[in-house]
Amino acid sequence: MFRPKIIETLKQFSNEQLLRDITAGVIVGIIAIPLSIALAISSGVSPVQGLTTAVIAGLIVSLLGGSRVQIGGPTGAFVIIIYGIIREYGYPGLAVASIMAGIFLMLLGILRLGTLIRYVPCTITVGFTAGIAIVIFSQQLNDFLGLGISDLPSEFIDKIKVIIMNISKTDIYSLATGAGSLILIIVWERISKKIPGSLVSIIIATLAVKIFSLPVETIGSRFPDLGSGFPLPSLPSFDFSQIGSLIQPALTIGILAGIESLMSAVVADKLVVDKHDSNTELIAQGAANIISPLFGGIPATGAIARTAANIKNGGRTPVSGIVHSLTILLVMLILMPLARMIPMASLAAILMVVAYNMSGWREFSAILRMGKSDILVLCVTFILTVILDLVIAIEIGFLLAIVMFFISMTRRSNIVLNESLSTEHLSVVSINGPFFFAASDAFVEFIKNNCTEAKTIILSLENSYHMDASGINALIEIKDFCDISRKKLLLTDTKEDIDKLLQKSQIISLLGRGNIFPSLKEAIDHVSVAFPVTSGSES
């Protein structure tokens, strides 16, 4: 059911909470301005497009979203994806891919598939997030060092090669501006948590460049046509023949937007002791990604850092998110001429800090101390994200995680001949772990090789909690073996789920209801009528 949180929260509204939401919204809006500009430029679009995204997506997510405190807008996770799409298809291709991704997200929400996100292993999310952080950091070296490379490759290895080849062109003024901004952001975090260090560093760096006439590149020098105002909506012009080739980029945007927005909502739930509606949130994120490109915006999702800042400053309803969007809109209409003076090196420093914060190095290092399979999935996803492509990284990461899971389950599955209960005429066999396709053939071979003399085989499933179609086929094969060998097959201790599966597969009629017992003891007592078992062996 689609039910935006704003409907629920407005019923419990108060003047006191309204004031807190307005305050939080203004603060988060101020925080979002330099981030939106920096993320847009790093993505290969203009600052206005980043700010427009923050306004439109932020407003829609707050009005329609399933979280009471989620802040929507451009995020670092999309930088490398947007940059690559624009280089290959241009902005019109990106706009179409974003709209397609929005439709995909809305369908996920309408079909109530939002809970599927919880099945994404943390090894994959930590791996690709850390990989994205490395790529974002590497992209900032050009502006941070003032190298002046106009066409930086999107591929990581090629990018690093070009940067190294041009390292001798480092501009001392840009480096000083970037390094000063970086140090100020780091130091300011220890001074004040209320006023963002990114904003302070931009103001001081801009003043320094203006007062001392430092010869560094600014937003205005790179984007000379930048002016005040807000873009009017229009349909993107594109070639319909590109739709097929844009499906994969669109799915990448949609999957990443879904994962990041719901991860952000989960974090927010813990901070405000609330529960978001994942399906409503996906519908809102979908709508945001459909409408944002109509105004020239870029893909958006829930921003974890801005959402956390909203909560820490008192935001508790979607009103704070609405105010955040209106604050950015006001700056776009009135203060954009001042933004032209912001040095590019200072924006690069901001994104370096963003990359560090999103890297999740603590989670990364914690997983490195875990099992080998977790380490393998983490490292493969991380490396592929950096050197190849996010989509490939996620696909191979998922495949590898599934394979490692099956290997783990196979190791837990085993079949044991219970010698203390077995006799000359009776073989008691216990299956431990899942009775599934990866282990079923081995189970059949074990019985054929170890139960040749017995007249009766008791198969105990007391320690087996799962069975699939391969397990059913294996049971049929074991029954055929017993029929050919003139043996009797008894089944015991089936769990409720396995018992339902046996009934659906009609294997109970094949085995005979009289040959299925609720406990091993009852099965042994039944066999002892024909082949007496000593009391010692029953203990």
Question: How does pLDDT run across 180-198, given as a tens digit for each residue?
Answer: 999 999 999 888 877 778 8
Determine how many CB atoms are found less than 10 A away from the CB of residue 416. Answer: 14
d(CA 23, CA 327): 11
d(CA 95, CA 102): 11
| pLDDT tens-digit series, residues 237-247 | 877 778 889 99
- State the amino acid at position 255 in one-letter form: I
Helix axes 496-505, 469-484, angle to 10 degrees: 70
**In the chain, % of residues over pLDDT 70:** 98
Show which of 309, 330, 365 is a domain's final residue. 365
430 plus 336 within the same structural domain: no
Total number of domains constituting the chain:
2
Q: What is the pTM of this model?
A: 0.77
Counted residue by residue, the chain has a size of 539
**Tokens representing 426?**
């009776």
359 plus 420 within the same structural domain: no
341 plus 425 within the same structural domain: no
Task: From residue 21, give the alpha-carbon distance in Å to each of 28, 34, 194, 319, 526.
Answer: 10, 21, 15, 6, 72
- For residues 26 and 388, the model is more confident at 26
d(CA 268, CA 276): 9
354 plus 455 within the same structural domain: no
Q: Is residue 124 part of a domain?
A: yes
Q: Is residue 183 part of a domain?
A: yes
Residue 200 has pLDDT above 70, yes or no: yes
Residue 535 has pLDDT above 60, yes or no: no
158 plus 268 within the same structural domain: yes
Task: From residue 333, give the alpha-carbon distance in Å to each of 18, 294, 327, 337.
Answer: 25, 19, 10, 10
Residue 170 has pLDDT above 70, yes or no: yes
Q: Quick one: pLDDT band at residue 531, thresholds 50, 70, 90?
A: low
Q: Quick one: pLDDT band at residue 530, thresholds 50, 70, 90?
A: low
d(CA 371, CA 367): 8
Q: Quick one: pLDDT band at residue 319, thresholds 50, 70, 90?
A: very high
Question: How far does the chain reach from its first CA to its final CA, in angstroms?
Answer: 57
| pLDDT tens-digit series, residues 65-114 | 999 999 999 998 898 899 989 988 999 999 999 999 999 999 999 999 88
Show which of 365, 381, 397 is a domain's final residue. 365
Q: Quick one: pLDDT band at residue 522, thresholds 50, 70, 90?
A: very high
Q: Is residue 406 part of a domain?
A: no
Q: Residue 330 belongs to what domain range?
A: 5-365
Residue 536 has pLDDT above 50, yes or no: no
Q: Is residue 138 part of a domain?
A: yes
191 plus 81 within the same structural domain: yes
Residue 437 has pLDDT above 60, yes or no: yes
361 plus 419 within the same structural domain: no
- For residues 423 and 378, the model is more confident at 378
d(CA 234, CA 20): 36
276 plus 422 within the same structural domain: no
Q: Quick one: pLDDT band at residue 538, thresholds 50, 70, 90?
A: very low
d(CA 132, CA 331): 29
25 plus 155 within the same structural domain: yes
Q: Quick one: pLDDT band at residue 532, thresholds 50, 70, 90?
A: low
Q: Is residue 404 part of a domain?
A: no
Q: Quick one: pLDDT band at residue 537, thresholds 50, 70, 90?
A: very low
Per-chain mean pLDDT for the chain: 89
| pLDDT tens-digit series, residues 468-515 | 999 999 999 999 999 999 999 999 998 888 888 888 887 888 888 889
Strongest mean pLDDT among 58-62, 157-161, 202-206, 266-270: 58-62
34 plus 168 within the same structural domain: yes
Determine how many CB atoms are found less than 10 A away from the CB of residue 237. Answer: 9
Per-residue pLDDT, averaged over 1-28, amounts to 87
Residue 227 has pLDDT above 80, yes or no: no
Q: Is residue 308 part of a domain?
A: yes
Q: Is residue 115 part of a domain?
A: yes
Q: Are 263 and 125 in contact (CB under 8 A)?
A: yes
pLDDT for 539 equals 32
Show which of 307, 331, 365 is a domain's final residue. 365
Q: Is residue 405 part of a domain?
A: no
CATH number at residue 475: 3.30.750.24
325 plus 444 within the same structural domain: no
Q: Quick one: pLDDT band at residue 129, thresholds 50, 70, 90?
A: confident
pLDDT for 288 equals 97
Per-residue pLDDT, averaged over 376-380, amounts to 95
357 plus 419 within the same structural domain: no
Per-residue pLDDT, averaged over 369-389, amounts to 91
